Amino acid sequence: KAGVTQTPRYLIKTRGQQVTLSCSPISGHRSVSWYQQTPGQGLQFLFEYFSETQRNKGNFPGRFSGRQFSNSRSEMNVSTLELGDSALYLCATGRKGNTGELFFGEGSRLTVL
Amino acid sequence: ELKVEQNPLFLSMQEGKNYTIYCNYSTTSDRLYWYRQDPGKSLESLFVLLSNGAVKQEGRLMASLDTKARLSTLHITAAVHDLSATYFCAGTGTASKLTFGTGTRLQVTL
C-alpha cells in the first residue's frame, strides 16, 4: 500500500519568493492536514482539509494557504517567503478527519536564504 | 486551547533498562497519539489511544491513557539502541488538529 507522498522533498528559495508543496494521500484517505516543524517552535498545525473544504486552520499568517482537490491531493502555498519559514513541512492523512490513525509523509524541507 | 507537555525532554538510558515518558494535556482530548521520529525523517505512528484506561503494546513499547488525570505514558522495557529516536505525544482538541508535545529525545547507550 503506497504511503503519503510529498513533493518536492527538498527545496531552496530566497526571501520574497513563493513556494508550492504537494501532498498525495494514501488511497481512500480524504483528510489531509499540514504541519510545520522547526527546532524552535516544534510541530505546529497549519490547516486541515476534508473533501475539498478547509475544516480547521492554525495560527499562521495569511501568507500560508492551501487547497485540496477532488482526488484528495492537497497543496499548500507560502507567499513572500521569510527566513523564518525555513522548516520541514509535513502532511498527514487519514480516513476520516476525527477518528483513527493519521499517517505522515516524509516531508518537504524548505530552506529560505 | 489544548496544551500538551512532555517530560523529560531528553532521556539517556542504558540498554536493558526500563523508563517512562510522560505526557500531560490540559483539556479534554478525544484521543492521544504517540509518534516516533528519527533524525531527518518523518513521523512514524506508534499508538492511538482512544479511551480511558486504554493500553497498547508493541514490542518493547507500551502506551497507556488516563483521561481523568489527563496523562498518557509511554513505557520502554529493556531498552535497545534501535529505540534511540525522538518520541512525540499529541492530543486532539477539536476536529483532527493535532497538538504536539515538545518531544522526548531518547538516547540508548550500550
SS3 assignment for A60-94: CCCCEEEEECCCCCEEEEECCCCHHHCEEEEEEEE
Residue A90: CB atoms within 10 A of its CB come to: 24
Residue B50's pLDDT band, with cuts at 50, 70 and 90, is confident
Report the C-alpha gap between B91 and B70 in whole angstroms: 10
Residue A9 touches chain B, beta carbons under 8 Å: no
Contacts of A46 (CB under 8 A, 6+ apart): A33, A34, A35, A36, A57, A58, A60, A64, A66, A76, A89
Per-chain mean pLDDT for chain B = 92
Task: With beta carbons less than 8 A apart as the criterion, state whether A23 and A107 touch.
Answer: no
With contacts defined as CB-CB under 8 Å, which chain A residues touch B97? 33, 45, 48, 56, 58
Separation in Å, CA of B93 to nearest CA in chain A: 10
Give the pLDDT band of residue A1 (cuts 50, 70, 90). Answer: low
Query: Residue A106 and residue B68: Cα distance in Å, rounded?
Result: 35
pLDDT band at A99 (very low <50, low <70, confident <90, very high): low
CA-based end-to-end distance of chain A: 37
Q: Smallest Cβ distance to A94: which of B41, B42, B96?
A: B96
Cell 520502554 found at: B76
Identify the weakest region by mean pLDDT among A96-105, B37-46, B86-95.
Answer: A96-105
Which residues make Cβ contacts (< 8 Å) with residue A85, sequence separation at least 6? A78, A110, A112
Per-residue pLDDT reduced to its tens digit, A35-91: 999 999 999 999 999 889 998 899 999 999 999 999 999 999 999 999 999 999 999
- pLDDT category of residue A101 using cuts at 50, 70 and 90: confident
Among the ranges given (A10-19, A95-104, B24-33), the one the predictor scored with the smallest mean pLDDT: A95-104
Q: Does position B95 have pLDDT exceeding 60, yes or no?
A: no
Measure the CA–CA gap between A29 and B9, rounded to whole angstroms. 33
The pair phi, psi for residue A65, each rounded to 5°, is: -140, 165
**pLDDT of B94 strictly over 70:** no
Lowest mean pLDDT among A64-78, B68-82, B95-109: B95-109
**What number of C-beta contacts closer than 8 Å exist between A and B?**
57
Q: Confidence band (pLDDT; 50, 70, 90) for B52?
A: confident
C-alpha–C-alpha distance, residues A91 and A48, integer Å: 9
Count of H helices and E strands in chain A? 0, 11
Start-to-end C-alpha separation, chain B: 41
The shortest C-alpha distance from B41 to chain A (Å) reads 6
User: CB-based contact (8 Å) between A56 and chain B?
Assistant: yes
Determine the Cα–Cα distance for residues B58 and B40; give it in Å rounded to an integer. Answer: 23
With a pLDDT cut of 90, the percent of chain B lying above it is 78
